[in-house]
Amino acid sequence: MAQLTDDCFAHGGRLMRTDEALALLQEKIDCVTATETLTTADALGRILREDIVAPGNIPPHDNSAVDGYAVYFDDLNAEGPTRLRVSGRQAAGQRRIEAPARGEALRIFTGAVMPDGPDTVMMQEDCTLEDGHVLIPAGIKRGANRRDAGEDVTAGSKVLFNGQRLRAQDLGQAAAVGRAELQVSRPLRVALFSTGDELREPGEGLVAGSIHDSNRYTLMGLLKSLGCAVSDLGILRDNADNIVSALDQARRDHDLVITSGGVSVGEEDHVKHAVETLGTMHAWRLAIKPGRPIALGQIGGVPFVGLPGNPVAVVVTYLVFVRPMLLRLMGGTSMPPQSFPVRADFAHRKKKDRREWVRVNLQRNGDGSWNAEKFPRDGAGILSSLVESQGLIELPEDLTQVEPGMLVDYLPFSEVIG
């Protein structure tokens, strides 16, 4: 792809709305991953990089939907039962045999090709068999229990699309149209760092003033669940030279560099200087809560994303901005996660012109609808609030007050976090 230019993420320092930020990312970010051929069985979770067209009809031939007897509907009595001689037998996987003569029935099984002539299948459970004849009760509809050629997929139609992320049923569909191999994106190579003198690895003891690094573990999970090949590059100390050499190394063999922490404007926030030494960086002041600053830039043409340090801000900014960015880098078409309306079971004030995400749990009402309860501890540093809640309510910029009973937009974590 074309390398990113110095000013590609420039944005004049104004407070930026979510839609504006997403539009800018959409415009500046392109697919960078090469394609590879995988067997269909191995392609789960990958981005498909070709359209898949069905070469033939599915099913390829009219066939029976049940075990029973294929008959000519016009041979059946409208009132009362019909007695037909059974001639012939057609099982699944056999070539089509001669059609029975008019006035006769054919023994047939689920998935077996319909012979040329009979148009209707009687379920065996509804029939009685007596000395080579079948007794068929009245009341069946013409064409019942028969599946038409092409009723699932018509020959020549597109069944899977370039840019879609392959789910289990998509692999089944690829196999159904006969594809043993698929062209997919190679995994996006992501370099991941944490920054901060206070951070220690889990397993290491804590000394005064230190905490365990959690963001890297959250981010590794998020990135891997989207199919990225993550290089865990550890913790960077708050030391400019150290950060410069680590980032310079990382950009050489990765498609994207992600850090968390160190991108506010404090004296100890060295990431900005380091990235600017190697390339360019623009701090985006986003009109969001939680989150606020994220940094976007490039190091030698490789995109760089600096996420905030606070653990909840990391997840929210990842879900809203980084996830769509990753999908785009991998050649995916836009796949907005599906949120749905639920009733707020809480009151909440918010600032106008800012988009906010509130952590909630759902409760089922007597009428089957859902109520969202706000998680009580809502600081941007409260990681346990993400563990103990089920999803996020997204509150739009214009809104200033949530009242109990109001319809609000709910995004389950299960939609976006693997």
Can you give the binding site for ligand AMP, defined by CB under 6 A?
194, 196, 198-199, 211, 213-216, 260-262, 264, 308-311, 381
Q: Note whether 293 binds Mg ion by CB under 5 A.
A: no
Minimum distance from CB of 2 to ligand AMP (Å)? 31
What is the maximum span of the chain, computed from C-alpha positions, in angstroms?
95
> 193 or 375: whose CB is closer to ligand AMP?
193
- Residue 162 beta carbon to ligand AMP: minimum distance, rounded to whole angstroms: 36
Q: Does 311 bind Mg ion (CB under 5 A)?
A: no
- Strands (DSSP E) contained in 209-324 are 211-212, 229-236, 256-260, 279-286, 288-289, 293-299, 302-307
Cβ atoms within 10 Å of 164's Cβ, excluding its own: 17
Asked if residue 196 binds Mg ion (CB under 5 A), the reply is yes
Question: Residue 286's binding partner, choosing from ligand AMP, Mg ion, none, with beta-carbon cut-off 5 to 8 A by kind?
Answer: none
What are φ and ψ of residue 105, in 5° steps?
-115, 155
Pairwise CA distance, residues 44 & 48, whole Å: 10
Pairing mode, strands 68-71 and 158-160: unpaired
State whether the Cα torsion 151-154-155-160 is positive or negative. negative
- Which residue's CB is nearer to ligand AMP, number 112 or number 295? 295
With 0-12 CB in 10 A as exposed, 13-18 as middle and 19+ as buried, what is 355? buried
Does 68 bind Mg ion (CB under 5 A)? Our answer is no
List the one residue out of 329, 153, 119 whose CA is nearest residue 321. Answer: 329
Minimum CB distance to ligand AMP smaller for 166 or for 263: 263
| Nearest approach, Cβ of residue 235 and ligand AMP (Å) | 7
Q: In whole angstroms, how close is the CB of 193 to ligand AMP at the nearest point?
A: 9
Separation of alpha carbons 65 and 122, rounded Å? 10
- Binding region for Mg ion (CB under 5 A) out of 9-17, 72-80, 193-201, 375-383: 193-201
Establish if 306 lies at the interface with Mg ion (CB under 5 A).
Answer: no
| Residue 271: CB minimum distance to ligand AMP, A | 8
Which pair of structure tokens corresponds to residue 156? 């020549």
Binding site for Mg ion (CB under 5 A): 196, 261-262
